[in-house]
Structure 1
Amino acid sequence: MQWLPHITVATIVEDNGRFLMVEEHKAGRNVLNQPAGHLDPDETLIEAAVRETLEETGWDVEPTSVIGIYLYTAPSNGVTYQRVCFSAKAVKHHPDYQLDDGIVGAKWLTRDELLAQRDNWRSELIIRCIDDYLAGNRFGLELIRPSL
């Protein structure tokens, strides 16, 4: 069996203690996640984070830092994901933007509200990324090097 990790990005967008989250329909139920998704061919990690956030929430964002790089193997399917999590500031909302298929909508939730919905998390990476953000983990965007 060939092992192929999946490269993904996620974005932490915070406004007065509330975090921009995505409610999506996955495997027959609604789950919560940060705006997140796979890196597409010929795009940078930063471009992927901006694109995924817009496609899943209708928000334009400006990445400000890297929160962390996480390795996660999903217990549901055994797939390994390498997630690069960014922090970003919200720039502009497009309320009529056509969100990706499977996206129910965007929600602004506090950490406590998220904890109360733990059974609805897509993965444990949600709280890990938020807690790293709240702990002040910030790495400059120059950490991310584009291909030559």
Structure 2
Amino acid sequence: MSDDQYKPHVTMACVVQAENRFLMVEERIHGLPTLNQPAGHLEANETLFEGAQRELWEETGIHASPQSLLQIYQWIASDGTPFIRFTFAIDLPEIPETMPHDSDIDRCLWLTAEEIIHAPNLRSPLVRESMIRYLQPERYPLSILENFK
């Protein structure tokens, strides 16, 4: 194995919709309020679905499961860090209360698609792209991702 082996960070994000609003979390990056979908890194010994559920609960206090796969993104951040991001859709019948359990999250917001797409303070370009992708009708079944433990 060579030292230049590609080792991307694997992350999951959830585009959560209820009553035509979308759940966003606000955190401080370099002291500035920044918006992201509930998202985070895959931990050892968990599936993508378990990781998505865990991150959603930690960052928002909501217990929900991914319902479909929206997109898989490969992205290299401006600092050269490579990411593979699995983005899931969750549609809820009504807006639930939120309570972040992650101290890095300042608050949760329910915003319109337009507010997100045009927000100047998104965590990465994947936030906007995931929102635009959600607005398209295509969804992939979760069965496209097979877990072997």
- Cα distance in 2 between the residues matched to 1:14 and 1:88: 6
Could you tell me how far 1:37 is from its partner in structure 2?
0.2
Gaps of 5+ in 2: none
Could you tell me how far 1:62 is from its partner in structure 2?
2.1
| Deviations 1:82-127, CA, capped at 9 Å, x for gaps | 00000113489564x452121111110001212342x210011112
Residue equivalent to 1:134 = 135
Residue equivalent to 2:91 = 89
- Cα distance in 1 between the residues matched to 2:131 and 2:12: 14
Amino acid at match of 2:18: D
- Cα distance in 1 between the residues matched to 2:44 and 2:118: 37
Count of residue pairs the alignment pairs up: 145
Residue 28 of structure 2 corresponds to residue 25 of structure 1: yes
Gaps of 5+ in 1: none
| Deviations 1:6-26, CA, capped at 9 Å, x for gaps | 000000111122111110112
- Cα distance in 2 between the residues matched to 1:115 and 1:144: 28
Which secondary structure does the structure 2 equivalent of 1:60 belong to?
coil
Query: Please, what TM-score do these two structures have when normalized by structure 2?
Result: 0.88
Residue equivalent to 1:73 = 76
Structure with the higher fraction of residues in strand conformation: 1
- Cα distance in 2 between the residues matched to 1:32 and 1:142: 30
Residue equivalent to 1:123 = 124
Contact in 1 for aligned 2:100/2:107 (Cα 8 Å): no
Query: Please, what TM-score do these two structures have when normalized by structure 1?
Result: 0.89
State the superposition RMSD in angstroms: 1.8
Q: Percent identity?
A: 37
- Cα distance in 1 between the residues matched to 2:112 and 2:134: 13
Report which stretch shifted further, 99-108 or 34-43: 99-108
